[in-house]
Every structure is written in structure tokens, then in C-alpha cells.
Amino acid sequence: MKFRRLVGIALLTLVATATIAVAQVRGSGTRGKIAVWSGSTSIANSNITEVSGGIQVTGAATSISGVSTSATGIGIFGHATATAGNTSAGVIGQADSSGGASGVYGHAAATTGTGNGVFGQTDAPNGAGVFGIATLASGSAAGGVFYSSGPAAAAVYGDATSKTGVGGAVIGQNDSDDPGGGSGLTGVSTTTTGTAQGIYAETHSSLAVVALFRNYASGNIIIGQVSPTTNVFRVDGTGKGFFDGGTQTGGADFAESVSVAGSKARYEPADLLAVDPASDRRLTLASHPYSTLVAGIYSTKPGVLASTHKMDAGAFQEEVPLAVVGIVPCKISAENGPISPGDLLVASSTPGYAMKGTDRRKMLGAVVGKAMQPFRNGKGVIQVLVTLQ
């Protein structure tokens, strides 16, 4: 009798809230069936079983608003089509137990196909397909949506398939003003082996970025920690980076972005450059033996590129990287004799080329660096340690 009373209450609620014309229970004892009609069309046919601690409902609907559940493998399907308001729900589940019960629990046992444990969809402008709220007043373990998965599966998977708009596959928002902070999106990997990531991001568009960080309050943009109280690097609101362990780059020298006289197409990496006396803060190809205007070498791959311009300034397009410290390739000429490692190099008579310096009286202020490789005949390129003297 208790079972029948519970089912009766559920059916009355179903009829009241879903405006379904007729609801009928078939069967007796602890097992039965519920068939629900709208008009003369059957839209659901579910098995009911009284189990320890509650009632189990197994959905076996064959058609709901044109959706074939046999084709998509959905045990219970909820569809809210409200176009206004925020109280409609396809499925609502509530568990008041403190013993770990679930408000809504879905389990797709099929090992093939694309069946869903729980599937939610809404057509409301401000609705959510699945909406989770954690109302725990204290503690840190509660989650609006909490999910653990098997091997190779995703704990939370979001797929934004629209080709227009600015929606996100997964969006997290935190409105807390608590001094302890909080996260709009938190990813944690507790494994001590393997290569799992706390947060993984990927993009396939040449116009997209893998990660975008924005701080409207002009505070720190990124902070890296090895413990909750130990920062090891940060990037502040001006774009300045601070790194306790130093930095390691893929380039081999320190260079500065500088403008050049004439077209940039006249210049190429490894050119020996000199100050252009006919311009204001511009460089040109070094072309006079022992010239004291020598400034450095056109860097092939700078490790650090300094500039007075903003990061995205268009001025970079017409400037070249001038290596002033480090080891870089340099065009070389043997016009003043064969070169050995350690020889001091100066400008030659060939524009853009260095040569061995032999006249000590002319070398003060004319030395661009030291040869790191030998060179015997003609013209070529060798590695040079830039040391202006």
C-alpha cells in the first residue's frame, strides 16, 4: 500500500505539472508499470520496482516530442522549451540525505555507441542544459557538478558546436568577494605519475589563442606557485614578468629592435651593422674598414628582443634585431688574412662583412667581437661572440 500511495502522489504531481490528461498504473505488489497518455497518444511506458530505500523507475519511452529514445539510448529524457523565465526544468532531482545520495543519477551501461548517463537540453535564451548548484555553507568538497570517470574519459566534457557567437565549451564564474579568493575555473590532477594536466587547452584555428588571461583590475595576470604560499613567477598588469629561477630561451643572444636606413629588404641576418650618421637613431650596413660606427650584428635568432615599442606595435615590421651581446652568425671576409678563433673582428670594405683586425692603432671603438670559428679564404659566415670594444 505504501508503494501505491507513493506512486499515486508522483502521478498526481506529474499530471499537475506536466498537464498530461491521463495517468494509469498497471500491476500490483512491489512491481508494476506506469503508462502516461497525452490525449490518445502514449508518450511513456515505464517499469516501476520498489527497492530498498526507494522506488526505481526504468524509462522505456519510444517517442517523446519526436525524439526517438531507442536511437539515442536515453533512459529518462527531460526537455524544457520555455522561452522566458528561469524556473522550468526538463528533470529535477533532489536528495536531502547526508549520506552521499544523488539528486539525479544517470548511468549508461552500454560499452559502445554514444549513450548518455544524463542528458540535458534547454531552448530558453538564458537556460542551461545541465545546471548544478552547491549550497554547502562551509567546507571545500561540494560541487555543483561533480563527476569521476573511467580510463581515457573526461571528468567534465564540454562541446560548443556553434560556428557563430562567443559561447564557451566550459565556462566557470566565481562572484565571491571572500579574501581567500576562489576560482572561476579550477582543474586539479592528483596523480603522482603519468602526464595528466590540471587544465588542458587546445585550438586548431590560426586566429585563436590557446589561453587568454584578462585582469580588468590591473592586478597580476598570471601567478605560478609551487605551494599555496610560494610564488615562483608572475606577470603583472603591465606585462612585466618576474621569475625567481631566471629564464631560459631558445635563442642565443640579446638583441634590440632598431630601424634601418632605406628598405628593410636590403638587410638580412648575419649582416654587420653600423650607426648611420645621416639619420636619427638608424643603422646601415658597415662598409668602411675599421669603422668606429660599428654597432652590432643582425641577429639570426635572438633569445631576448628589447624594444621601446608596445608588443603589438606596427613599428616592429620595419625594424631589425641588432645583436649587442651573445654568440651569433656573422658574415666574414678573409680580405685581411685568415681568421682563427679568438681574433678580434672589425668592419671590412665589403658592406655588411667583418674581417680580422690587425692594426691596433685603429681598433679602439672599432671591434665588434671575437671569432669563435676559423675561416681561411673568400667570404662566408662564422659564429662570433659580440663584444663591442
pLDDT digits (tens, 9 = 90+) for 220-261: 999 999 998 999 999 999 889 999 999 888 888 999 999 999
Quote the percentage of the chain above a pLDDT of 70: 66
Please check whether residue 249 is in contact with residue 308, taking contact to mean a CB–CB distance below 8 angstroms. Answer: no
Flag whether pLDDT at 46 surpasses 70. no
Cβ-contact 354, 386 below 8 angstroms: no
Among 57-61, 146-150, 175-179, name the one with the lowest average pLDDT.
57-61
Per-residue confidence band for 262, with pLDDT thresholds at 50, 70 and 90: very high
DSSP letter string over 313-374? -GGGGGEEEEEEEEEEEEEEE-TT--B-TT-EEEE-SSTT-EEE---GGG-TTT--EEESS-
Quick one: pLDDT at residue 162? 76
Q: 2-11, 131-140, 208-217: which range is least confident on average?
A: 2-11
The answer to which of 155-164, 186-195, 294-303 has the lowest mean pLDDT is 155-164
Reported as a pLDDT band with limits 50, 70 and 90, residue 57 is low
Q: Which CATH architecture has domain 253-386?
A: Beta Barrel (2.40)
pLDDT one-digit tens code per residue, 29-40: 445 454 444 444
Domains of the chain, residue spans: 1-74, 205-247, 253-386
User: What pLDDT band is residue 297 in, cutting at 50, 70 and 90?
Assistant: very high
Q: What is the DSSP letter of 67?
A: B
Q: What mean pLDDT is reported for the chain?
A: 77
- For residues 251 and 161, give the distance between their C-alpha atoms in angstroms, rounded to a whole number: 39
